[in-house]
Amino acid sequence: MDRRAFLSAGGGAAAFLCTIGGETVRVRSPRDVARVDAAAAALPRPAGARTDPIDRAQFPTPEPQPGGRRREYWIGARTVRWNIAPAGRDEWMQRRLPGPRTILAFVYQAFSAGFAHPIGPASMPGPTLTAEVGDVIVVHFSNLERRLRQAVTMHAHGVRYNPEYDGAYLGDFTRAGGFVAPDEEFTYVWEATPESVGVWPYHDHGPNHTLNAIRGLFGAVIVREKGAPAPDVEQVLFLHSFPPEVSGLPRLFHCVNGRSYAGNTPTIRARPGQRVAIHVIGTDQNFHTFHIHGHRWHDASGALVDCPTLGPNETITASFVEDNPGRWLYHCHVYTHQDAGMAGWYLVEQ
């Protein structure tokens, strides 16, 4: 599909800039994406700037607090063919979904210790990391990607880390965790402090982070108070989109966890009396409001809400004791988003 066809198909409406290495590219078609990827693949490892004392400082690797644990994960980043709507149908509007819907996604995948074997199929979001206050989260991260061959990272929100474990490409100021080249490994060590309690995104923050986060390089970290039980039903929902210029598909899909349209997006199930927590994280260019039919909840201020706003890499939590059986729709309440697939089922048994 050439650029003209893309634009007439609605691509380019959300055209965006990628700045990488020496280049700024306005991304309006897969050809522009290829150009950005080539720039990312050609980028040399940063030399490291050490003129400012801050950039020369050394930092100890954090240890768990007394009584805390090491929570160890093995995570690889790799591209996969990804079907946005494997059921082939929109169960809400009761229709077959026409047209292509498989893309090259870039995902974080869980592995067993030592990267012995993958744990389950690749998923979007990546594995949910959990910890309690006082723990450290240790992520052995491997760049397993063979096709795009560019440096990637893991940058976490909410948890505490020193600059070594920031996971951000910073040009000449980059530290080791900010540039994990193909076939390399890096171990991130993050602390779950009292100020880390909550649900947070992690995502690529390497040199090509914009494209790669759009492609699927994101996941969640959950930090609880020491000994706090998990809710009976807990679900993380990432709200995001695959614009045509990146996906190469002829149309825009709005997604929940990499899928579009009810029956493809997560179907959440609960029973009356259960404590339910649905954590919703924005992870595209857009702002969203999140609504669950038949339900409302207190936000952090104590106000009753059923359709709060959330922005990119912001989390809101819908938390309640279930008391209303039925088949309910959850969805982003921006009409174009819900109509392009950002909706799913919440099923409560009677």
Q: Which of residues 58-77 bind a second copy (CB under 8 A)?
A: 59
Return the SS3 of 314.
coil
Q: Contact with a second copy (CB under 8 A): which of 5, 34, 42, 54? A: 54
Q: Considering the complex, state which of residue 74 and residue 328 has its C-beta at the smaller distance from a second copy.
A: 328
184 binds a second copy, rule: CB under 8 A: no
Choosing from 66, 98, 121, 227, the residue that interacts with a second copy (CB under 8 A) is 98
Is the dihedral angle over the CA atoms 195, 197, 201, 206 positive or is it negative? positive
Provide, rounded to whole angstroms, the least separation between the CB of residue 135 and a second copy. Answer: 16
By C-beta, is 77 or 310 nearer to a second copy?
310
Interatomic CA distance for residues 311 and 303, integer angstroms: 19
- Residues 139-158 binding a second copy (CB under 8 A) are 155, 157-158
Grouping H, G, I as helix, E, B as strand and the rest as coil, residue 176 is helix
Q: Is 122 in the site for a second copy (CB under 8 A)?
A: no
Size, binding site for a second copy by CB under 8 A: 95
Which part of the chain contacts a second copy (CB under 8 A), choosing from 68-76, 123-131, 141-149, 161-169?
161-169
Of 53, 66, 114, 229, the one binding a second copy by CB under 8 A: 53
Within positions 200 to 219, which residues make up the interface with a second copy, using CB under 8 A? 200, 207, 209-210, 213-214
Among residues 100 and 171, whose Cβ is nearest to a second copy? 171
Binning the chain into helix, strand and coil, the percentages to the nearest 5 are 15, 40, 45
Q: Give 217's contacts (C-beta < 8 A, 6+ positions apart).
A: 77, 106, 107, 108, 126, 152, 203, 204, 209
51 binds a second copy per the rule CB under 8 A: no
Residue 39 Cβ, how far from a second copy at the closest point, in Å?
10
Cα dihedral sign, 142-107-23-312:
negative
Q: Is 273 in the site for a second copy (CB under 8 A)?
A: no
Does 232 interact with a second copy (rule: CB under 8 A)? no
What DSSP string runs through 194-233? GGG-EEEEEE--STTHHHHHHHT-EEEEEEE-TTPPPPSE
**Residue 133 C-beta: closest distance to a second copy, Å:** 12
User: What's the Cα-to-Cα distance from 11 to each of 170, 224, 339, 340, rounded to whole Å?
Assistant: 30, 41, 17, 14
Strands 185-191 and 95-96: unpaired
180 binds a second copy (CB under 8 A): no
Distances, alpha carbon 23 to alpha carbons 35, 64, 78, 205, 217, in Å: 10, 42, 24, 17, 22
> Cβ closer to a second copy: 144 or 277?
277
Tokens 């090491």, located at residue: 70
Q: Which stretch binds a second copy (CB under 8 A): 116-124, 146-154, 181-189, 291-299?
A: 291-299
**Peptide bond preceding 125 in cis form (omega within 30 of 0):** yes
Between 151 and 197, name the residue whose CB sits nearer to a second copy.
Answer: 197
Rounded to a whole number of angstroms, the minimum distance from the CB of residue 293 to a second copy is 6
